[in-house]
A and B are shown apart, each in its own frame.
Chain A
Amino acid sequence: MKKILSATLLLSSITISSFAASAQSPLYEKLTIDSLETQNNKDKSISWSGNFWVGTELNKVYLYSEGEKPKHSSSSSENQLVFSHAISPYWDAQLGVEYDIDKGAHQTWGVVGFQGMLPYFIETRATILAGSGTLGLRLEAEYKALITQKLSLTPKISTALYSKDIPSMELGKGLSNITASLKLSYEITREFAPYIGVQWTKNYGNTNIFNPTDETYFVAGVKFWF
């Protein structure tokens, strides 16, 4: 908690100085839906993941949302509102809040995140969560390999860990989940790409006791931005 607090202070001091500096940059905004897909899993879910940002090259406000709606039950989602500041050529540091919904239950978190590109063009995002006396860590990484200028193969892996059980949210202590996917997408335009893919997801520890999950299934959806 102390660490998060100091990170928070550090981040907010960066924020203040940089706003003044980039006062003259014009504002841009972008809506990206990374995935809007139907999943051939046991729940027959519709799943989404995306973000909207408004800001300059160096300072942005992001709204992230990802979640799923099983065919016969209510939805679950993770939604973040963060301020994002460039701390290096390829990396942004982020600070904000997260609101999670899981089948009627909900949880609010404070969020510190890092988003950027690792060497070898690996797009990465790490989020540290703090709420209800619990810490969480989520990591995701993806790589886009071009087969042709329009056809690409994207492996992606994400994982989540928590310091304590949160039974209401069906989250267990320790390693909670790993999800890996491989998607083949075709950019009809730069802005619009349908894809098909295969996804594997597995819950671990108490998470798997709350909500036993270990399945592999096909997905089909679209990625778009404007």
Chain B
Amino acid sequence: MSTTKNQISRRVFVKGLAVASVLASTRINLNAKEVQKEFEKGDILSGKVFNLSIGYSAVDITGTPTIATTINGKLHAPTLIWKEGDDITINVTNNLREDSSIHWHGIIIPTDMDGVPGISFEGIKPGETFTYKFTVKQSGTYWYHSHSGFQEQTGVHGSIIIEPKVKDPYDYDVDYVVALSDWSDENPKSIYRKLKVAGNYYNIKQRTIGDFIDEIKKDGFINAFNKRKMWNEMDMGDRDLSDVTGYTYTYLMNGDNPATNWKALFKRGQKVRLRFINSSAMTFFDVRIPGLKMRVVAADGNNIHPVDIEEFRIGVAETYDVIVEPLENKAYAIFAQSLDRTGYAIGSLTYDENIAASIPKMDPLPILSMTDMGMDMSKMNMGGMKMDNMAVKNDKKPMDMNKKTPMANMKMDNMPTENKKKSMNMDMNKKSFMTNMSSSSMDKTIPITPLEHADGPQSTMKAANPQYRLDDPGVGLRNNGREVLRYSNLKSLRSTMHDKQPDREIILHLTGNMERYMWSINGIAYPDAKPLKFHYGERLRITYINDTMMNHPMHLHGMWQDVESGANQFVRKHTVIVQPGSKISVQVTVDAMGSWAYHCHLLYHMAGMFRKVVVA
């Protein structure tokens, strides 16, 4: 079952060689029953005062020595351990030749401590030290990263663990952080430029003539041609999964490349808590540990009703805490393949630090469907139905006409059969659809505040029929034979009974133009957009509609997003994945005065798909 490092590094598509920088992994053991003090080498910092220094470090991740931007000389940066209720002080010194900053991702703090240059403060000038001081008012798994330039891509990211005042309602014996990231030897400015001048530069799995011939063989020419018709007419590709891929990325687990194979140790029968953090710039990962079920106990730092699954997708900036119970003395692979299947991060959960797990096979290349374009008619009722059905777990019936929703009757009448008509009718119906959605999940109709919106070169596509796809694990994970986590599985442990009903709603269309590599919200890029005004004290409903073919992890600073993950079911998150062509609604208790950043967390989307939020 086990292989040596040499065998691993022979895999052609995995770039990199074994690096011996940080070998032994460090356990955290907060609530862990066994007391093991392995806080060594500055990998973990705890206490109330922290000193972080951002600087340049020589690294060798792919076999080519290069320079990273690091914190205290570490890539991934030291894990910070805080205690809920503590007043903490963090001195951040910038030793780079350019401005820097640290943002505490998902941490609820005053705006001037939030670390976004131009919004919360002026940034940290070269040679200067900025002191962050705040009270820790939450617990769980979070992370921190630079919010300046592309420094996050070149290594300025680290993990945060906050010990709760009241013990978490689950037991475990050992505790590890599993931070995933994407590394490139290329200068991120060069990556960005390549995307701007040749949008498909990193897409190394595009459609070929052979794919079309295969489809002709399978379906005949007419059918194959018609299947392609919609895509071709819109100049869209069904393999446009990630902007930046394994062509340039090496995927890391806790800073270790696949050849190094990061290791977490366990003893048979122990319960192991793994705190997964996606600190990538651009990469979504599909994570599984073949041979082990995972019990998901927290999402984005917040405890949830535990759910047992075999695989989960983790979007950029999300975190998931899982507990696993290895019953055999063997090495289990912690396998995180990139969504586009161009590479993976891997580590081993092993009983012996000299034994690494064998590498699982990557799944086939996911192909986007009409669903991901927001055009699938067969799923039409799912969103509506699911909102009402959510209590019924794993209700996989595609359509249930007997259920009483406003949707079912309204939509079925004018369901056309021809493609073009579809999209037209859908556009027309969209408004009523949304109003109905609101009223079906809420007691009263919520007034919608119109926002500025522009049609034009910014947006190539409009999701004609965007659906709530909470029960959809996402492209590449559908019907793969494994129990895959969905947003509909997530339910906050905290009671939401006393949460206010939303006072009003805004709709944010996530828009983009892959050809020109521009990203925007409501067709307006950040430099041209007015700030969004949130009213202090209100409960705001935000509905996202994804008019692109890509997942966007939407991150609101300073306030939680309570995702409507089912009927009267919420999950509290800092980062919400909006699947391609779908819609999803969140509710925000606007309780933080000041200015906040609000953006897609894909690093190269941020310049445009960004808004300043002003709470007053």
Contacts and interface: CB of A to CB of B under 8 A. Distances in A.
Contact of B456 (A88, A117, A121): A88
A86 interface: yes
B206 A146 contact: yes
Interface size class of B (residues with CB under 8 A): 20 to 34
Interface stretch (A21-29, A134-142, A196-204): A21-29
A119 B232 contact: yes
A132 interface: no
A149 B235 CA distance: 18
Interface in B513-529: 513, 515-518, 527-528
Contacts, number: 67
Interface in A143-173: 145-149, 153
A149 B203 CA distance: 9
A89 B515 contact: yes
A57, A86, A88 — most chain B CB neighbours (10 Å): A57
Contacts of B208: 146-149
B205 A149 contact: yes
A69 to B, nearest CB: 28
B442 interface: no
B457 A86 contact: yes
A22, A121, A153 — most chain B CB neighbours (10 Å): A121
A148 B208 CA distance: 6
A42 interface: no
B457 A88 contact: yes
B610 to A, nearest CB: 12
B587 interface: no
A2 interface: no
Interface in A15-63: 21-25, 28, 30, 57-58
Contact of B207 (A24, A25, A146, A225): A146
A217 interface: no
B193 A28 contact: yes
A142 to B, nearest CB: 14
A24 B198 contact: no
Contact of A89 (B193, B204, B459): B459
B34 to A, nearest CB: 50
A190 interface: yes
Given A21-B528, A57-B517, A120-B233, A90 B209 contact: no
Nearest to A29: B197
B463 to A, nearest CB: 15
Interface in B217-239: 232-235
Contacts of A21: 528
A149 B518 contact: no
B348 to A, nearest CB: 32
Given A57-B518, A120-B233, A149 B457 contact: no
21 contacts: A22-B527, A28-B197, A58-B516, A58-B518, A87-B457, A89-B458, A90-B235, A120-B232, A120-B233, A120-B235, A121-B235, A146-B207, A146-B208, A147-B208, A147-B210, A148-B208, A149-B204, A149-B206, A149-B208, A190-B194, A190-B198
Given A22-B528, A121-B232, 18 more contacts: A23-B527, A57-B518, A58-B518, A86-B457, A88-B456, A89-B460, A90-B235, A90-B515, A121-B235, A145-B209, A146-B206, A146-B207, A146-B208, A146-B209, A147-B209, A147-B210, A148-B208, A148-B210
Nearest 9 CB-CB pairs, A to B? A86-B457, A24-B527, A89-B460, A146-B208, A119-B233, A120-B232, A57-B516, A30-B197, A57-B518
Interface of A: 21-25, 28, 30, 57-58, 86-90, 117, 119-121, 145-149, 153, 190, 225
